[in-house]
Amino acid sequence: MKNKCEVTVAGISVTLLSEEEEEYVKKLAKVLDRRVMELTIDKNRFSKSEALILCALDYLDETVKLRDELAALKGERHERNSESGE
């Protein structure tokens, strides 16, 4: 079931439909908003659009690296299980 949730990031309000619980989506939006504000207000180096793109790339980079690491660990486990005859 899809949950409807309104969030605000960098002063931009959007209504989302998500499989996740509203509380979880709002938590994600809060983390993203905080990071964007750090880049735009605290450091005053990036526009909101630039900060959002930088955050998206940072989080995507982290996700891809974690997936690769997980795949490698699963591969190692599979090799160990194959060697032990499981």
Question: 76 or 57, which is more confident?
Answer: 57
Angle of helix 48-83 relative to helix 22-37, nearest 10 degrees, comes to 120
pTM of full prediction above 0.85:
no
State pLDDT tens for residues 17-36.
999 999 999 999 999 999 99
Instruction: Determine the pLDDT at residue 82.
Output: 80
State pLDDT tens for residues 31-64.
999 999 988 887 678 899 999 999 999 999 999 9
Radius of gyration of the CA atoms of the chain, in A: 19
Instruction: Determine the pLDDT at residue 77.
Output: 84
Token digits of residue 50? 């630039």
Asked if residue 33 lies in contact with residue 10, where contact means CB atoms within 8 angstroms, the answer is yes
Question: 76 or 25, which is more confident?
Answer: 25
d(CA 73, CA 78): 9
DSSP state for residue 26 in the 8-state scheme: H
